[in-house]
Chains A and B, each alone.
Chain A
Amino acid sequence: MSRLPGTALRQSRGLWTSVNTARPAFRNTLLSSTRHASSSSPQHAQSFLTSRASLAAFSCLTVGSIAWYTQLYGTLPFIGEVSANSPAEDGLHPVAYPWSHKGWFDSFDHASIRRGYQVYREVCAACHSLDRIAWRNLVGVSHTVDEVKAMAEEIEYEDGPDAEGQMFQRPGKLSDYMPPPYPNEEAARAGNAGALPPDLSLIIKARHGGADYVFSLLTGYFDPPAGVQIREGMNYNPYFPGGAISMARVLFDGVVEYADGTPATTSQMAKDVVTFLNWAAEPEHDERKQIGIKAVIIFSSLFALSIYLKRHKWTTIKSRKIIYNPPN
């Protein structure tokens, strides 16, 4: 294609629109423009709408998008189905918020992680565990090693057995994991009217909408609208699938007091704790994005190099000229 003069392409495309009336002219253009590119097939000059490659490409695109849609939503597109659900039962879709770590090159805001840990410790940790985060994980992320050691030592952990076979209590170390609020699931359910507060280690990854959803949930408590019945002990939250959630609203303005002087409004605390939980779910986040930048740089230059090399190797083939001298 690249060997054709640009005018030939423009002519053939212009002619294609009036192909019924000007077919002979079209064929002439075809022949004259492909004469010096004997190895390329005459289909090159055809409109890209009629080539086999575009037929195959559009078929692949169609099949691929249907497969993708089906994988994502679980149903085939444009085929109706009967459902007893109302939109309210799927929960309100969260708004896409401009998180400080949202962009391709953006790291976590570590001051926000530090405030978010404070919110988790003072508010969320009363009911929610954070099993997969150890004290040592906070070092160099949101706290200094001395601060984390001091925080860990305030908690008593059971260890053992000692030389007599007895279990004993000892202050926490950096290698200990975050203490759970309840000893087991049954105790957690018994303390929360049968509802199990989920572990928060991976909650941002484990919910549709991720950080946006958790933020919307934390700030989305309203009075139930007319006609919506909420059972005793439940709370109305339109972002929660079904609308009735066992967790009550916990974030009110001024519930915690930030050491760095940030005003502790409801949305500020929700933003900080969601940033903290996002870090807990993706502690590799900052490093991953840096490696991604390097990978894109290296692979795109390798790709450009391979294109150059291909064109270099094909130059002779593309520009050769085969002349047929018919025998007299």
Chain B
Amino acid sequence: MGLADAFYNSIVRRNSIYVSSIFAGAFAFGVGLDLGVSSFWDRWNRGRQWKDIRAKYSEAASE
């Protein structure tokens, strides 16, 4: 139970640290989920999205 004890002593012991770690954890989870889902989405839909074909048209317009 070394891990659980370390978790309890370092995070749960003080309420200020506990609450702020929950908030920071929620923020990090939100960012991580967004990044993970969008990287999966871009891999799955490679070549179909606007950002994949945009280069063709913006180059053509600038020429």
Q: Are B50 and A110 interface neighbours, CB within 8 A?
A: yes
| Interface set, chain A 126-144, CB cutoff 8 A to B | 140-144
A111, chain B: closest CB distance, angstroms:
5
Q: Are B54 and A144 interface neighbours, CB within 8 A?
A: yes
- Given A107-B41, A293-B37, also A147-B57 (CB < 8 A): yes
- Given A143-B57, A144-B61, A146-B61, also A293-B41 (CB < 8 A): yes
Q: Are A109 and B48 interface neighbours, CB within 8 A?
A: yes
| Interface set, chain A 141-173, CB cutoff 8 A to B | 141-144, 146-147
Interface size class of B (residues with CB under 8 A): 10 to 19
Set of chain B residues within 8 Å of A294, measured between Cβ atoms = 33-34, 37
The chain A residue with its CB closest to the CB of B58 is: A144
> With the chains together, A147 CA to B61 CA distance in Å?
8
Q: How many chain A residues touch B (Cβ–Cβ < 8 Å)? A: 24
The chain A residue with its CB closest to the CB of B59 is: A144
Q: Are A141 and B50 interface neighbours, CB within 8 A?
A: yes
Q: Are A290 and B37 interface neighbours, CB within 8 A?
A: yes
B52, chain A: closest CB distance, angstroms:
8
> With the chains together, A142 CA to B54 CA distance in Å?
8
The chain B residue with its CB closest to the CB of A289 is: B41
- Given A105-B41, A106-B45, A290-B37, also A142-B61 (CB < 8 A): no
A175 at the interface (CB under 8 A from B): no
The chain A residue with its CB closest to the CB of B53 is: A111
> With the chains together, A106 CA to B34 CA distance in Å?
17
Chain A positions 285 through 304: 1 when the CB is less than 8 Å from some CB of chain B, otherwise 0: 01001100110011000000
Q: Are A105 and B48 interface neighbours, CB within 8 A?
A: no
The chain A residue with its CB closest to the CB of B44 is: A105
B38 at the interface (CB under 8 A from A): yes
Q: Are B45 and A298 interface neighbours, CB within 8 A?
A: no
The chain A residue with its CB closest to the CB of B50 is: A110
The chain B residue with its CB closest to the CB of A111 is: B53
A47 at the interface (CB under 8 A from B): no
Set of chain B residues within 8 Å of A16, measured between Cβ atoms = none
B49 at the interface (CB under 8 A from A): yes
Interface residues of A (CB under 8 A from B): 100, 105-111, 114, 140-144, 146-147, 260, 286, 289-290, 293-294, 297-298
Listed A/B pairs (27) with beta-carbon separation below 8 Å? A105-B40, A105-B41, A105-B45, A106-B45, A107-B45, A107-B48, A108-B48, A110-B50, A110-B53, A111-B48, A111-B53, A140-B50, A141-B50, A142-B50, A144-B58, A144-B61, A146-B61, A147-B57, A289-B41, A290-B37, A290-B41, A293-B37, A293-B40, A293-B41, A294-B33, A294-B37, A298-B33
Known: A106-B45, A294-B34. 19 other contacts (CB 8 A): A105-B41, A105-B44, A105-B45, A106-B44, A107-B41, A107-B49, A109-B48, A111-B48, A141-B50, A143-B57, A144-B54, A147-B57, A147-B61, A289-B41, A290-B38, A290-B41, A293-B40, A297-B37, A298-B33
